[in-house]
Amino acid sequence: MQYTRMGRTGLKVSRLCLGTMTFGWSADTAMSFRIMDRAFEAGINFLDTADVYSSWIDGNKGGEAESIMGQWMLNKPRHELIIATKVRWDMWPGVTGEGLSRHHIMKAVEDSLRRLQTDYIDLYQTHAPDADTPMDETLRAMDNLVTAGKVRYVGCSNYRAWELMKGLWVSDKYNLARFDCIQPHYSLFNRAEYELELEVACLDQNVGVIPYSPLAAGFATGKYTRQNRTPDSTRATSSLVQRLVNDEKAYSALDVLVEQARVHQVPVSQIALAWQLANPSITSSIIGARTVEQLEEVLGATEVKLSAEEIKRIDEATTGY
């Protein structure tokens, strides 16, 4: 497994980050343990979660993924793990149950620490912007957590370029902890959202980038075909997939990925990830899995080296997304 430094920090992370949205949802506790065991064995030291995972399931309240991770970490060397979680969405009843206010952040971080059974979070991220809370209030709360040692670094997710830059400006003006990384929605089939403005901002400001859904909710794995547009998948209802399944251009792009996969003798998913990781602005790609077999399919992606000509072909095939 390859490692890299996140942005301007000294944080060394694996180039594949294990996302845990499936934990407590499509992967039960036993399977989640097996997935994390295999990821750690393969050299993945970077795990990303959120307090809200997986509150959308009947009977869940949120915090399930963090709790599973906390149990698993009891038998692992904590200092060898980089644990990232997020705050923003509703986690308890009441008017302060969501948002990025100081009140919400201070309660949410204690809840996350308790569920994770750790005394610090390596990377604490705002899950999405909160227009109802001044950004300086959010960043002052984050800065206090860093000063207290409960959080090591601060990041954000789903911010547009101007929102990221505003946050960096606020941190600079008031000498507060800054967003050292960002989680954008970025894949071969969702390029413009990141590439139009956010990419150059991250490169200019030395902000680490850890994209989520790099395999386009499974579309870039090759399991979707012209003959089978509705494979059995928990992500088949994704709005992105729904747009792609009847898009002939998307299948033509998949043809290019399949061809490259045959040349390199690897699964299609590894070509999609290798394309993303070849981008100098990308720190680590977040991968998710419901089974150990799904994880195994992508583990070799950091070893796949695409030529400039191969990258150009993939770029041309996915232009417009």
Question: What is the rounded CA–CA span in Å between residue 98 and residue 133?
Answer: 11
CA 166 to chain centre: 22
Residue 305 DSSP symbol? -
Residue 187 DSSP symbol? B
53 catalytic residue (yes or no): yes
In which element (H, E) is residue 154 found? strand 151-157
Catalytic residue among 53, 124, 186, 212: 53
Give the 3-state secondary structure of residue 47: strand
Question: What is the rounded CA–CA span in Å between residue 1 and residue 7?
Answer: 19
Question: What is the rounded CA–CA span in Å between residue 303 and residue 294?
Answer: 17
- Determine how many CB atoms are found less than 10 A away from the CB of residue 290: 20
- Among candidates 211, 121, 122, 199, which has minimal Cα distance to 164? 199
* Assigned token pair, 127: 């899950």
Q: What is the 3-state secondary structure (H, E, C) of 241-296?
A: HHHHCCCHHHHHHHHHHHHHHHHHCCCHHHHHHHHHHCCCCCCCEEECCCCHHHHH
Q: How far apart are the first and last CA of the chain?
A: 29
Q: Work out the angle at residue 48's Cα, subtended by the Cα atoms of residues 265 and 118, and round it to the nearest 5 degrees.
A: 135
Residues with Cβ < 8 Å from 299, sequence gap 6 or more? 1, 16, 42
Question: What is the rounded CA–CA span in Å between residue 257 and residue 270?
Answer: 9
Determine the length of the chain.
321
* Residues annotated catalytic, as ranges: 53
